[in-house]
Structure 1
Amino acid sequence: MHYAEDLAPNAQAITALFTITFTTSEGETEGTLIGAMVDQMLRDRQDDGTRVFTATDNGTLVGAVLFSPLRYAGDPRTVVLLSPMAVATTRHGEGIGQALITHALNVLRNTGADIAITYGSPVFYGKTGFSPIGEDMATPPLPLSFPHGWIAQSLTTEPLTPLQGKPTCVPALNNPDVW
């Protein structure tokens, strides 16, 4: 298995991975929504700072995760938002997602990111160091459908303290349907 930051991502293959994975797990409407979001994130990534990490097995894409800037007005810390994440449905349960996230967080930590936040399963993401946070710790960019899924971790030796100011996310994630 090879885990790496993908500096020249194959947008078509990555978008297809997300579309198929989310269609299988959440239904066609969600698969289409997430596929379109990923497509936009990949098109805009040079302008907005989105970073793409992939897992490949013998040259075949089996997992991908995107991290984008989450900027808090009035807070100097560098915050990244993990969203979305997908592993090929035929490869679930092999630890690929956890290994890919761990690899990505190490790269982000080493390149100056201070905090990682995501919106997802506290059980799954807890295995890679994420813990539930309240909206008083980090205001989400849009209202959350499931506030218990708002989770974060410090990527430095400093404990997580409240982020200051109104947050802004990349345009592709500025959609209430994904929150």
Structure 2
Amino acid sequence: MKIAQYQASQAETVIELFANVFSDSEGADEGQVIARLVDDLITTTDSKDLIGFVATENEFVIGCIFFSRLVTANNANAFILSPVAINTENQGQGIGQKLILEGLSYLKATGVERVFSYGDPNYYNKVGFKQINDSIITAPFTLTYPEGWIAQTLNELEISKQDSVISCVDALNKQKYW
């Protein structure tokens, strides 16, 4: 397996991956919702505000993650990890964790200070994320699953109330994703 940064030439394959993975786990309607989200992220987000990583095996994309910029009240250099998809047949092999760790390492090397996500804390704790309180750091929208609001720092500074999230990129700026 190889991990590399996402390339624009992989757009169609990556969108299809997200559609298939989320259709398998959440149903066809959710697969289409997430496929549209990924398409929007790719087509509407400035390249400096979107970073993706893909896992390939025998030239086939088997996993993909995206990080997009968050704007905070104190102008911390922050991103959110969302979405993540690993080919259904390849799940449970640590591919998602490897992709996330590669992405976090890249972000840290480029000066990113904070990374947020919205997902299963039991899974994301394995790669350094911790639950955060929405009263300290406000998510861009009301959370359907407040326990899933998680973050980590990539420097020695603690996350504090001054980090309160103000906004995310346009593609994620919709209540239905929260």
TM-score for both structures, normalised by structure 1: 0.94
Instruction: Report the CA distance shift for 1:43/1:151 in structure 2 as closer, same or farther (over 3 A).
Output: same
Match of 1:122 in 2: 121
Gaps of 5+ in 1: none
More helix by proportion, 1 or 2? 2
Match of 2:54 in 1: 54
Superposed CA offset, 1:20-48 (max 9, x none): 00111111121111000000101123356
Give the SS at the match of 1:77. coil
Tell me if structure 1 keeps the 8 A contact 2:45–2:169.
no
Q: Distance in 2 between matches of 1:107 and 1:10?
A: 20
Give the SS at the match of 1:80. strand
Tell me if structure 1 keeps the 8 A contact 2:67–2:79.
yes
Runs (4+) of structure 1 exceeding 4 A deviation are none
Gaps of 5+ in 2: none
Q: Which moved more, 1:137-146 or 1:161-170?
A: 161-170
Match of 1:28 in 2: 28
Match of 1:15 in 2: 15
Give the SS at the match of 1:82. strand
Match of 2:132 in 1: 133
* CA RMSD in angstroms, aligned pairs only: 1.4
The equivalences for 1:1-179 within 5 A come to 1-46=1-46, 49-72=49-72, 74-165=73-164, 167-179=166-178
Tell me if structure 2 keeps the 8 A contact 1:9–1:52.
no
Q: Distance in 1 between matches of 2:151 and 2:3?
A: 22
Aligned residues: 178
Give the SS at the match of 2:62. strand
Letter paired with 2:50: T
Superposed CA offset, 1:121-145 (max 9, x none): 0011111000100012211001100
